[in-house]
Amino acid sequence: MALASSSPSSRILPRLSSPPASPSASLSPLPPRATRRPRRYSRFAVRWEGRLVAPRALLGGFEDADAAESDDEEDADAVLRPLEGEDVGLGLDLHAPPSGPERWDVLGLGQAMVDFSGMVDDEFLERLGIEKGTRKVVNHEERGRVLRAMDGCSYKAAAGGSLSNSLVALSRLGSSRSTSYPKLRIAMAGSVGSDPLGSFYRGKLNRANVHFLSKPVEDGTTGTVIVLTTPDAQRTMLAYQGTSSTLSYDSDLASLVSKSNILIVEGYLFELPHTIEAIKQACEDAHKNGSLIAVTASDVSCIKRCYNDFWDIVANYADILFANANEARAFCELSSTDSPMSAARYLSHSVPLVSVTDGVQGSYIGVKGEAIYIPPPPCVPVDTCGAGDAYASGILYGILRGSSDLKGIGLLASRVAAVVVGQQGTRLRVQDADKLAESFAHHLDNLEFCSDIETDHVSNF
């Protein structure tokens, strides 16, 4: 994969005032628009259907800290005490970390939320009037009511949020000692309060080798998400936004963006007040500095509420789009009976690389109006929470390692997701990341060998 070499002025065009028209039954290519930024498919190294586009190396990797811890979660009781008015410190540094490396491989821009995750039954949800399988934004009182109802249940606290799940998995894949690759440098910018939960969040990410670079908001409150998983592995989420609903694009964040090879923007930010302009400014600066931009769809309700804002960013800036089947259909305004393959094909007319997941049915990678099917690996689901986040980390890892095989990248991503779905908790464990990274390294070695002897290769990764 390569960074574009075009001049900054040729990359920034006026933004779309509205999203493109919905696809017709034949899913014909989008009509030309003078305002749309030209798509640069050559930015990706693609080996697909026997055609090879020679890759150009992504800018460097950098040595990282020691291997991340394998246990991300803590008993929720100790973390919750500060919420109940007790003066309990968590012993974690609230100050901003050192300035970091010359460049970051990936900078994530998203919500910083502490997750409280537990197993409940359907009766629990019915008793509290919570619709199963949904995501709802709650206020302080509603959060307290649910946490009190969970008293006596077994549940854990973790530095969560959709984006941080992806970044931790990516960092662990990129820190594997089972490969000879340079370790990836991963960072995140977001908003946490100066409360104990903010300290907890920052410390957990830093120990997982994801450098959380934003300073705490003075007198702010850190956001939380209550994740309730039922025995059928369905998740229900209740989000309390707190300070995570604020994000300003200041000189510090601008400096971080200018030193990043990939900027990934979490879709949940689109529904928060005063964040859209910050997202646009970050994307502008990222393109001016030759960075790739990835956007996560995050949630169907986010897309529907912020449809024009999403398309403004996706059509004019995004090089990579991550979505599940329902989110992809929402982008295209397709019905639930339309196939995710159709959505992937349609979206790939606007975005160079589109990733669409469809649960146990597999996934698709859309490129140039076509879609590559990725079959799912065998998996016994335990907890579906974090599956899409894990999948995204696999895609990014394959790209950062310079792979030219999209099918192989997709198979890696599906295996990362399957590992996370087969466990309780949203984080890819260190030992699993090592095995996946080693397997993918062997896959890349085989590709290089086949290329050297000029033999067509069909990926079996």
pLDDT tens column, 375-389: 999 888 887 878 999
Average pLDDT over residues 390-399: 96
Distance of CA 275 to the CA centre of its chain: 18
pTM of this structure: 0.77
Can you give the pLDDT at residue 11? 32
Sign for the CA dihedral angle at 173, 174, 177, 178 comes to positive
The model's pLDDT over 270-303, given as tens digits with 9 standing for 90+, comes to 987 678 999 999 999 999 998 999 999 988 988 9
* Out of 50-64, 319-333, 352-366, 443-457, least confident range: 50-64
Measured between alpha carbons, how far is 203 from 120 in angstroms, rounded to an integer? 28
Structural domains in the chain plus CATH codes? 73-290+303-316 (3.40.1190.20)
15 has a pLDDT exceeding 70: no
Q: What average pLDDT does range 420-437 have in this prediction?
A: 87
Q: What is the pLDDT at residue 81?
A: 53
In this structure, the number of other CB atoms found within 10 A of the CB of residue 169 comes to: 33
Between CA 178 and CA 180 the distance in angstroms is 7
According to the model, what pLDDT value does residue 19 have?
55
Calculate the CA 63 to chain-centre distance.
23
